[in-house]
């Protein structure tokens, strides 16, 4: 089942890097009682994700937060160590929460996985942006191709706030 506007996010666990090392965060930890702009990418450091998607998010981060968003989160089917390094390289002002969905459990639970094994990537997440309020999907923008950032960028979600 693919998630849609009006659905509650399923229970899932993510890994995040903290000063004390990797920690587990649940969907409740991240979304309960908060307004969250969630951006999903197929893979950290891949061309479109690194050069197009993340710049669109963080060029608009202050304006997104000014519209009442508590958290800007980025999720990918990558491990926590890659996500921490990618955060260092893409989020110069530490405005985002980078969520490692290493086994793709969250991605599969919301029906956003795709098979990238033809390119040696294994199971990955579709590219999308989502506005979530208190665990409920309010806006959802899914790209029709993993190599595009036509509807999932920070500028699009900002325009919907």
| CATH number of the domain enclosing 152 | 3.40.30.10
Q: What's the chain's Rg over C-alpha atoms?
A: 14
Domains contained in the chain, number:
1
Average pLDDT over residues 42-63: 86
Is residue 120 one of the residues assigned to a domain? yes
Is residue 4 one of the residues assigned to a domain? no
Residues that are catalytic: 49
Is residue 2 one of the residues assigned to a domain? no
pLDDT, averaged across the chain: 92
What tens digit of pLDDT does each residue of 58-90 get? 999 999 999 999 999 999 999 999 999 999 999
At residue 133 the predicted structure's pLDDT band, cuts being 50, 70 and 90, is very high
Is residue 1 one of the residues assigned to a domain? no
DSSP helix/strand/coil, 31: helix
Average pLDDT over residues 21-40: 97
Is residue 8 one of the residues assigned to a domain? no
């Amino acid at each position: 089942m693919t998630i849609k506007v009006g659905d509650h996010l399923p229970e899932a666990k993510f890994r995040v890097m903290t000063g004390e090392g990797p920690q587990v965060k649940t969907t409740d930890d991240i979304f309960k009682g908060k307004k969250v702009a969630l951006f999903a990418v197929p893979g950290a450091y891949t061309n479109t994700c690194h050069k197009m998607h993340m710049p669109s998010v963080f060029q608009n981060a202050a304006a997104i937060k000014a519209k009442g968003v508590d958290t800007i989160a980025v999720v990918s089917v990558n491990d926590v160590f890659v996500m921490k390094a990618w955060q260092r390289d893409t989020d110069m002002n530490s405005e985002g929460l980078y969520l490692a969905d290493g086994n793709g459990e969250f991605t599969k639970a919301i029906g956003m996985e795709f098979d990238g094994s033809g390119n040696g990537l294994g199971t990955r997440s579709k590219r999308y942006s989502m506005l979530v309020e208190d665990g409920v999907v309010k806006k959802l923008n899914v790209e029709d191709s993993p190599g595009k950032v036509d509807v999932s960028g920070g500028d699009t979600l900002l325009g919907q706030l």
